[in-house]
Structure 1
């Protein structure tokens, strides 16, 4: 209350959260209402998916795509930047069914993942070069007349401009950019354009570098060029999020915000937010559903901010995370077993409810209850602060939309889950009707042009690579990527004995040639470092990492890591081209053995 009523005002207060509970009620309802009403600084929640979402929406119009359950009927599947067996495991049976029916499965990933092991082919391109590969495919498709001219004419804008752009990306040029063979690019393009149905499953690893938004946008153009959208089992899927037409206005109540609207602060630049923002400075941080002391990029800067003596930090948590170590107050939170929630999805078309199995233990409270109590303490009179969790869930479903027809909270509680009311042969863009300003797939985007970005897809190189930053690469020659560890969900579960046993220890995969050049051996304790910081890991010498690239599955807690720091000591606060996203996979490093 004192900060909210001070001269500097409530904007000195910053909520910091993401998707820790993975539910709508506990992650984006009463909390948003409270901070909106308070007039606190807004948090731009960009750390995971914002760049890809911006690039995809600039092309398609919304996060809509192929029905995941239709992938089983595809004849060709490109798993592009997705380790499906780790990060999208419920989709794997449909991929496997397609393969058993004769489909070819191709993995496109800098690392040879467990998913790539199960595919017919693996293209290990250099990190951050996905847009160049897609443009190289377009070059071949247009040059050989393999495009769907009718679909392009009727359902796209900018086809000729894209054709001209693609002419710049001959397979030989793309091969040099991506670290692939020109013949491989030609073969991929021909196969993608000629085999029907052809489906692309793209995931968010593709967008965690400086040109991440444009990379997703470029790949998202491919189905329109070949007419893959005509088939229910063709097209592309990034996320199913926009398929859920829920009432977010009722959930979050943005109308409660004061006028003028409070400032927006980017969570992917938390270090700078805490150490450099002065108009006014952040004086109170309320953390829930997240663990920024482990997951936020440029950790040295983040931890410097969290150590500030004049920063009052509250953390609402289930476990004593790294972030809790910097808190002035730690509030005990509930687990999924102790609270009610409503769940949508970003990888399928099912709504589900999470019923409370037991009463909250000891003093634990769910997010919604904490914010109800805070609202009451601050004398917020609006009736929405008295809504129960069940009432909030019901409000989320108060939408007149064909996809939600017949879906009620009562039905969900009876069954546990319900599929969105979509056609059996759901093919969202078979006849065009894209939710873009033009109503067409926008291969040329006026919106991006007005924002100073290329209107037509282009390759935006990583900020840190041998090609784009040769002087930096002379000191730090290895490209680092830090994909999801198989047994963790970001930093969730990374403290549980069973999960830790499965992951064994923090490690970095390094190609044998790179290891030999540095005198490194398998199992050796090593130091990864760059100008931002360092961390200690165990070397795994393997061809799963391509030469010039090191891979460290994440996110380990600092306190459970050798040396007390994790991989985010090496990542930067540089933002993506679109969406203000984090660039976790855009970092150059060096590796040395620890004597």
Structure 2
């Protein structure tokens, strides 16, 4: 099929409506029948044996979401409609993203066949090829690179092109060949801050010290703080539970720069300055301590508050400093070496002397002493001293709230049980980590952890990766954050050592281009410098646009899979609902083809079912009776016990205590940098890097641009939802009315949003609820969906070296009417 100019030519909305007789509109998306796209069905792979209609159990596998249970109607071998399952265990009401999945499966954006580029990168000119040719081309290139430069010369941007749990098969291949994994650096800063304080039971997974299930525990809360969280848009399935909890007496406190649906329904709304949340939290802690509202018992029992900190090293005084030799503890399952037990020292109030923290029953929370000639102070006293600079009268101008408001918020934070929910906008500033560690401190001071209705309602951990399956040869990928990758490519050095040159990039279901900050720089400094790029995905994304070979991946309706839902605490089974459309293949089958071509096929014997069984075959799941057969029968099986988490002093920190004082701060990702850890031991506030008054950038570009989640998309997943995009009516940017008036901009105008990094054209929606000086746009569209430019190009690659996280909202821009220039 030489000469094909587009990977998705042929079907328009007009021809679709004419063919199917469907009626366009939101009602059809929100639960009405979605007729099969007959114009695409002819070559979708459906056969006469598929004729008829049946209803299958389905679910969404959007990462970080509910994985809602629902029914999928299959007609003539094609998924045509999603409808609620009244008997589902949870998530009985899919959101718009879920309802629109059948339409997206057969969208004109669907990648149907393997293709190779025939024009320049980004030119969108392609030629259809066979799977045999595609695999042969890829493996021949990769074998050459591996032989000459080693497996590390091949970059992998890892996402999920369709399957969820089964994607581990591709990771197995990458570990065997020791590819370089590009870490995406998104949504981690707040979690890393929380992990500093409360630890992380599952490395590499976003966790928070809250209870579950949310749908039950939220009704135990007396007060719910919503930190920059517009739940009604981002997680509509949870929104109804929050509203019901409010009806039953829970008080909702919204802290958000902008007016949102949540703030409109909240009992109280506080519109603080964007990026100032850490300062507000630390001021609240100062008030709580000043007004004697802190939980002394919790601080003494569960935190490092009583631990003595050496004045010279700023680390905990330990029994070995007093001449008591450390002992060996249980073997660490990861290092396979005994743990070293060397207890911190406290000042025992009853005995009036220093004592091992493991033995003291009455440790002093405050004070300074000299022990064995070493000057020491309790961690709690150091924390109290540190928050004195955040008194409400000082912080009021920073956060743009009155000192009375700050004091009221502090008191509300003690009216427990208190639950906190944060939006990921808070992690999108340079100081996002400090919000996480500050929130951890607030929880510690108020004792709002380990009791019903208290803690952080966020994501659960998924401790269910089979190491034997993932690492059969004992070799691993090397991880380099995407924010650091341009520097590694320029210098050829990583962690102070020479690193092999990068020759190829395998984009596996990842928004590498378009989903990251500073798109133009990533293209110029990474994409343009690579010899060979492969993209495996379901839909034709911006990443595919820059590939040399594009492979069609199966949608998760087209493969049997299991998934550990992070918001439902269940392992969930998803049957294959339909056969893969067109020439799409599941991730595992693609990994097998690549492995055979690369000479490591012996590690990929078997089929999808046998691989699923292998990945589920490890002690943590077997002990709970979780097997593929059991999941097929029960659909959902809980893998974490229900109830209150982080209780009975069980924390996942080095000391086993709540570490609001961090003895040895570490970056989220080790980049081999020489970092100053002193400012990181206690939570602090520092202004955002760019989006803050008086920065040089903001003097030039006075508006702050922040992304928001859309009801119709999960990050870039859903850009191909035609009807949902029509509801939004193209790329938009929400703008304060007065800001628009000052620039001669009217509602509905096309405007160019720009800074030194790039520009993007969007339609203005005037919104009195938007804070002056701020612009907000729904994220997730592809660059070609803009009339010109791309708003994703405006964000910076700057990072805090401890958070190693993208600061999407730390972005300054200006706006002008668009002159209609070409893209």
- Common topology (TM > 0.5): yes
- Output the CA distance in 1 between the equivalents of 2:219 and 2:163: 27
- Output the CA distance in 2 between the equivalents of 1:403 and 1:431: 26
- Output the CA distance in 1 between the equivalents of 2:599 and 2:288: 63
The count of aligned residue pairs is: 581
- Output the CA distance in 2 between the equivalents of 1:138 and 1:309: 49
Tell me the residue number matched to 1:96: 243
**Would you say 1:80 and 2:213 are equivalent positions?**
no
Q: 1:20 to 1:268 in 2, by over 3 A?
A: farther
Contact 1:480 1:587 in 2 (8 A): yes
Tell me the residue number matched to 1:545: 770
1:24-39 matched pairs, under 5 angstroms: 24-26=165-167, 29-39=168-178
Higher helix share: 1
- Output the CA distance in 2 between the equivalents of 1:36 and 1:248: 13
Q: 1:18 to 1:461 in 2, by over 3 A?
A: farther
Contact 1:449 1:455 in 2 (8 A): no
Which residue, 447, 454, 459 being the options, matches 1:234?
454
**Would you say 1:461 and 2:687 are equivalent positions?**
yes
- Output the CA distance in 1 between the equivalents of 2:760 and 2:399: 28
Q: 1:518 to 1:88 in 2, by over 3 A?
A: same
- Output the CA distance in 2 between the equivalents of 1:408 and 1:19: 23
Secondary structure of the equivalent of 1:37? helix
Which residue, 238, 254, 267 being the options, matches 2:482?
267
Contact 1:483 1:552 in 2 (8 A): yes
**Unaligned residue ranges in structure 2 (runs of 5+):** 1-141, 201-206, 305-378, 494-498, 668-674
Which residue, 446, 459, 465 being the options, matches 1:247?
465
Tell which deviates more after alignment, 524-533 or 11-20. 11-20
- Output the CA distance in 2 between the equivalents of 1:509 and 1:227: 39
1:164-206 Cα offsets, whole Å, 9 max, x none, are: 222111112222222222222111111111x221111124321
Q: 1:75: how far off?
A: 1.1
**Unaligned residue ranges in structure 1 (runs of 5+):** none
Tell me the residue number matched to 1:590: 814
Bigger relative contact order, structure 1 or 2 (CA pairs below 8 A, ≥6 apart): 1
**Would you say 1:308 and 2:523 are equivalent positions?**
no
Q: 1:447 to 1:238 in 2, by over 3 A?
A: farther
**Would you say 1:409 and 2:633 are equivalent positions?**
no
Q: 1:262: how far off?
A: 5.7
- Output the CA distance in 2 between the equivalents of 1:455 and 1:275: 33
- Output the CA distance in 2 between the equivalents of 1:42 and 1:592: 39
Secondary structure of the equivalent of 2:449? helix
Contact 2:277 2:435 in 1 (8 A): yes
Tell me the residue number matched to 1:487: 712
Tell me the residue number matched to 1:60: 198
Contact 1:271 1:304 in 2 (8 A): no
1:129-182 Cα offsets, whole Å, 9 max, x none, are: 221111111011111001001101111113332222221111122222222222
Contact 1:24 1:341 in 2 (8 A): yes
Secondary structure of the equivalent of 1:352? strand
Secondary structure of the equivalent of 2:390? coil
Q: 1:85: how far off?
A: 1.8
1:519-563 Cα offsets, whole Å, 9 max, x none, are: 222111111111111111111221222112211111211101121
Which residue, 287, 297, 319 being the options, matches 1:140?
287
- Output the CA distance in 1 between the equivalents of 2:817 and 2:163: 39
- Output the CA distance in 2 between the equivalents of 1:338 and 1:305: 36
1:369-388 matched pairs, under 5 angstroms: 369-380=589-600, 382-383=602-603, 385-388=604-607
Contact 2:418 2:453 in 1 (8 A): yes
1:113-512 matched pairs, under 5 angstroms: 113-157=260-304, 158-193=379-414, 195-241=415-461, 244-253=462-471, 255-257=473-475, 263-269=478-484, 279-305=499-525, 308=528, 311-380=531-600, 382-383=602-603, 385-401=604-620, 405-423=624-642, 426-448=643-665, 452-453=676-677, 454-467=680-693, 469-512=694-737
Contact 1:106 1:120 in 2 (8 A): yes
Contact 1:52 1:216 in 2 (8 A): yes
Tell which deviates more after alignment, 498-507 or 574-583. 574-583
Secondary structure of the equivalent of 1:308? helix
